[in-house]
Amino acid sequence: MSETHDDPDRAFVRALARDIGLTIPEPCLPGVMVNRDLLRQYADLVNGFALPDTCEPAFDYQP
């Protein structure tokens, strides 16, 4: 399928994958998109929480 006629969401996911050097095989695309939608719901939850500017990322986490 040519990307010009592709579903815009599929084209976007393919473009995102290209940015990280990943080619998503066509049969994998529906599953990747379902999982991406799920992650976006979780992302909305986390991004919807206001944090103080001084709250730093916990990259080197100490419990």
Interface ranges with other proteins (CB under 8 A) = 13, 16-17, 20-25, 28, 31-36, 38-39, 41-43, 45-47, 49, 51, 55-59, 61-63
Closest CA to 1 of 32, 26, 18: 26
Cβ 52 to other proteins shortest distance, Å: 8
Cβ 50 to other proteins shortest distance, Å: 10
Q: Which amino acid is at 27?
A: P
Cβ 33 to other proteins shortest distance, Å: 8
First to last CA, the chain: 49
In angstroms, rounded to a whole number, what is the distance separating the alpha carbons of residues 3 and 9? Answer: 11
